[in-house]
Amino acid sequence: MGNNTEVIKMVEVRLENLTKKFGDFTAVNSLNLTIKDGEFLVLLGPSGCGKTTTLRMIAGLEEPTSGKIYFGDRDVTYLPPKDRNVSMVFQSYAVWPHMTVYENIAFPLKIKKYPKDEIERRVKWAAELLQIEELLDRYPAQLSGGQRQRVAVARAIVVEPDVLLMDEPLSNLDAKLRVAMRAEIKKLQQKLKVTTIYVTHDQVEAMTMGDRIAVMNRGKLLQVGSPTEVYLNPNSVFVATFIGAPEMNILEVSVGEGYLEGEGFKIELPDDIMEALRNYIGKTVLFGIRPEHMVIEGISELAHMRRTAKIKGVVDFVEALGTDTIVHVRFEESIIKVKLPGHIPLEIGKEVSVLIDLDKIHIFDKNSEKAII
Ligand code: ATP
């Protein structure tokens, strides 16, 4: 804490070929990842992809089968949790019901045998940061879920951890509180600058909180990058469809000389894009376009689109979300979802022209599902 500063030490965390097997099952498969000093890194992936296991290995709660974990230059791979100076916040909060808020927050300091006045000073500091000074005498049963979560976070930062680990800490909160707490945790982390690894399966949480996002699936790290990078340049169909809602449209198309052809639509392509697809002419690839990277001619603005391709279809279904409208446009057997800002009344069965932003299209290899462009 230092006397006048609230900045916690910064530590780089490096994972080298980190692997965890449970019997024959590989939960984490040769992970290589460096989390920078003071960074907020989000580990994102579907249930069972190995996020929690990775976090538990960093905390020292799980021993890797192979690979290394470094905090700065220190090899901590086989150190017990107490020698790592990490704190972890769990989904279940795990605050102790028989202790007051004060005692809960003070507990890790007592274990470390801090003097009483230092404990008092730190508990006050953490409680102030989390805005729970008024609650110090209460028991967890007398708190709301959001307040309990604040206590858990206060208890995690009170020891000035080198690394803060958070495992889906907001998933037990209702939707509104979750949004508010996202911003609070992010601001707190920016203030403390503590290296933070945050696990979630919620892509919106990842996009809004992470300095960088590491996307995992089936024990493997697929892509690491800033939220904008992974959103704009996903390296695979998995990342492309996991991030963004509604998800990216993915359609099978064949590559012709100067165009892509799917079921019921044909997209003319400029030379520079064709150049990247030269080796794929005559083959089938996966075409990807996000719903927000298209407009409907005559209905919404072309805004920032530099060059477009036009395809004609029929309105199949309309989802009015209030702030946006999702229009499902049918092209014979294919359906493409287009997201338009605002409330757009459109009749089902109406013929429309969809304009595709050609600078936002994605092409993936059909077999490897890796991005070609
Ligand atoms: P979730 O979001 O559901 O917690 P996750 O991405 O955090 O998922 P992990 O909890 O890391 O996933 O689990 C990864 C895989 O390893 C899962 O298939 C899980 O069943 C398996 N696994 C985890 N712990 C053990 C264990 N102790 N013994 C056997 N298998 C385990």
Does one domain contain both 108 and 180? yes
What dihedral do alpha carbons 134, 137, 139, 141 form, nearest 10°?
-30
Confidence of residue 304 (pLDDT cuts 50, 70, 90): confident
The predicted-structure confidence for 333-370, as pLDDT tens digits, reads as follows: 899 999 999 999 899 999 999 999 999 999 999 999 99
Residues 6+ apart with CB under 8 A from 157: 8, 87, 126, 129, 164, 188, 192, 194
- Report how far ligand 1's centroid is from the alpha carbon of 89 (Å): 17
Does one domain contain both 214 and 260? no
pLDDT given at position 1: 45
CB distance 166 to 132 below 8 Å: no
| 226: helix, strand or coil | coil
CB distance 87 to 165 below 8 Å: yes
Asked whether residue 3 carries a pLDDT value surpassing 50, the answer given is no
Q: Which residue has the tokens 């309309």?
A: 318
Average the pLDDT over 263-290 and give the result: 96
Does one domain contain both 238 and 261? no
Residues 6+ apart with CB under 8 A from 201: 44, 45, 46, 47, 51, 168
Does one domain contain both 192 and 151? yes
- Report how far ligand 1's centroid is from the alpha carbon of 195 (Å): 24
For the chain, the distance separating the N- and C-terminal CA atoms, rounded to the nearest angstrom, is 47
- Ligand 1 closest atom vs CA 219: 14
Beta bridge partners of 362: 288
Q: How far apart are CA 140 and CA 150, in angstroms?
A: 11
What is the bridge-based pairing of β-strands 259-262 and 249-256? antiparallel
Closest residue CA from atom 18 of ligand 1: 48
Q: Which helix (H) or strand (E) holds 224?
A: strand 220-225
Number of domains observed in the structure of the chain: 2
Structure tokens at 346: 């459109």
CA distances, 109 to each of 103, 127, 133 (Å): 10, 14, 18
Report the residue among 15, 53, 65 best suited for mutation to probe ligand 1: largest number of ligand atoms under 8 A from its CB.
Answer: 53
Question: Hey, how many other C-beta atoms are within 10 angstroms of the C-beta on 213?
Answer: 28
Q: How far apart are CA 331 and CA 305, in angstroms?
A: 22
Domain boundary among 187, 222, 242: 242
In this predicted structure, which of 11-20, 140-149, 277-286 has the lowest mean pLDDT?
140-149
Does one domain contain both 46 and 176? yes
Q: How far apart are CA 313 and CA 70, in angstroms?
A: 55
The predicted-structure confidence for 111-159, as pLDDT tens digits, reads as follows: 999 999 999 999 999 999 999 999 999 999 999 888 999 999 999 999 9
Does one domain contain both 77 and 194? yes
Alpha helices in 199-260 (DSSP H): 203-209, 227-232, 237-242
Strand order in the sheet with 86-89: 86-89, 163-167, 195-200, 40-44, 212-217, 220-225
Closest residue CA from atom 16 of ligand 1: 27
Structure tokens at 89: 């916040």
Q: Ranked by mean pLDDT, which of 91-105, 188-202, 297-311 comes out on top?
A: 188-202
CATH of residue 186 = 3.40.50.300
Does one domain contain both 104 and 173? yes
Confidence of residue 221 (pLDDT cuts 50, 70, 90): very high
- Report how far ligand 1's centroid is from the alpha carbon of 278 (Å): 42
Task: With respect to residue 2, please indicate whether it lies within any of the assigned structural domains.
Answer: no
- Report how far ligand 1's centroid is from the alpha carbon of 144 (Å): 29
Q: How far apart are CA 89 and CA 170, in angstroms?
A: 10
Task: With respect to residue 5, please indicate whether it lies within any of the assigned structural domains.
Answer: no
Which one-letter amino acid corresponds to residue 247? E
Does one domain contain both 267 and 179? no
Domain boundary among 242, 257, 292: 242
pLDDT given at position 313: 97
Backbone angles phi, psi at 174, to 5 degrees: -70, 165
Asked whether residue 6 carries a pLDDT value surpassing 60, the answer given is no
- Report how far ligand 1's centroid is from the alpha carbon of 219 (Å): 9
Does one domain contain both 64 and 212? yes
Does one domain contain both 265 and 357? yes
Q: How far apart are CA 360 and CA 357, in angstroms?
A: 6
Confidence of residue 8 (pLDDT cuts 50, 70, 90): low
Closest CA to 108 of 149, 63, 172, 151: 151
pLDDT given at position 300: 76
Q: How far apart are CA 154 and CA 89, in angstroms?
A: 10
Task: With respect to residue 372, please indicate whether it lies within any of the assigned structural domains.
Answer: no
Report the residue among 49, 54, 205 best suited for mutation to probe ligand 1: largest number of ligand atoms under 8 A from its CB.
Answer: 49
Task: With respect to residue 6, please indicate whether it lies within any of the assigned structural domains.
Answer: no
CATH of residue 279 = 2.40.50.140
Using CB distances shorter than 6 Å, the residues near ligand 1 are 22, 25, 27, 45, 47-53, 201
Domain boundary among 176, 211, 242: 242
Asked whether residue 293 carries a pLDDT value surpassing 90, the answer given is yes
CB distance 105 to 155 below 8 Å: yes
Does one domain contain both 87 and 222? yes
- Ligand 1 closest atom vs CA 201: 2
Task: With respect to residue 77, please indicate whether it lies within any of the assigned structural domains.
Answer: yes
Confidence of residue 331 (pLDDT cuts 50, 70, 90): very high
Does one domain contain both 49 and 71? yes
Task: With respect to residue 7, please indicate whether it lies within any of the assigned structural domains.
Answer: no
Task: With respect to residue 8, please indicate whether it lies within any of the assigned structural domains.
Answer: no
Residues 6+ apart with CB under 8 A from 139: 97, 98, 99, 100, 101
Say yes or no: ipTM exceeds 0.90. yes
Task: With respect to residue 166, please indicate whether it lies within any of the assigned structural domains.
Answer: yes
Tell me which residue range forms the domain holding 118: 13-242
Mean pLDDT score across all residues of the chain: 94
